[in-house]
Amino acid sequence: MKMGLFDKAPPLENPTHESSERLLAEEEGTLWTGNETSAPTCNSFAVCLFRASALILVFLVGALFGFQWRGDLDGLCSQHVSQYSTIIKEVGIQYSLQEFNGSLLKENIFRQDAGPDVDAAWESLGVNYRSVRIPPEDAEQSGLAADQVKINAKYGGGFPANVEGLHHLHCLNLLRQSLYYNYDYYHAKGEGPFTNNDYIVRLHVSHCLDIIRQELMCSVDSGVLGQVWIYPENPEPYVDFNTKHRCKNFDAVRRWAEKNQLPQDPPADFLQPPSEGDRIYSRMP
């Protein structure tokens, strides 16, 4: 029967609870039709066991690495900030808290005027140690090129090299010897760098000066220098240079370098001649 716009609509049947919920769901757009994928669940004991085991394994591996790193933070730090070398592998870098002697007026042995005692003190730091041997397997990781100077295989092979930290001290010692109040003494002795003419000595000194500059800029100290009061009668501020630092185990590195020095008087064929294709510079680099 055709029904007009304003005709009375036939009464609806009493809706059931189920149909009401279905209608409400359709209106809200939340009706589940059975096609959607449900959230993943552990639908079997084996799956649940596998997931739990994987989580435990990840936790244990993370804890193991964390424990190892915590136990060797010194080594981890050194490997991150330092060029690799055999020293790191054989000595093991460790750090300890030390206070610098920054006194202006109280001189120690390293600040003495030129003479045998101060020379012996600097010599004890390894400033004149000979080269050491770097094994072939450590060469590339240590920054050595395959065509650099090598030791003849019949004498053990490897690469002759100098410990950089000891070279820095060698340079600092040369600057000390070249101070205006020390220079005449060492120039007259004519030993070590002073066997050369004055022009070469000057170049050697300026080379050392710039090497130390670059090293200090490369490893710039981010610590700060506080100030203290001096002169109780009329207090004035003064910079406190006696600061604490975390320092590497220098003595262990020095002992390793001393122990591993190459022979003082090596045979004539100790070094392997350059091979074809090896770089040979026309002048000092």
Residue 274 or residue 81, greater confidence: 274
DSSP type of residue 38: P
**How far, in Å, CA of 196 to CA of 208, rounded?**
15
Looking at the predicted structure, is the pLDDT value of residue 248 above 70?
yes
pLDDT reported for residue 42: 58
* pTM of the entire predicted model: 0.74
- Identify the band that residue 45 occupies on the pLDDT scale cut at 50, 70 and 90: confident
Q: CA nearest 92: which of 72, 107, 109, 111?
A: 72
Supply the DSSP symbol for 113: P
3-state DSSP assignment of residue 230: strand
**pLDDT higher than threshold 50 for residue 57:** yes
Question: Chain-centre distance of CA 182, in angstroms?
Answer: 36
Q: What percent of the chain has pLDDT over 90?
A: 68
Which one has a higher pLDDT value, 158 or 9?
Answer: 158
CB 225 within 8 A of CB 93: no
6 vs 181, which has greater pLDDT? 181
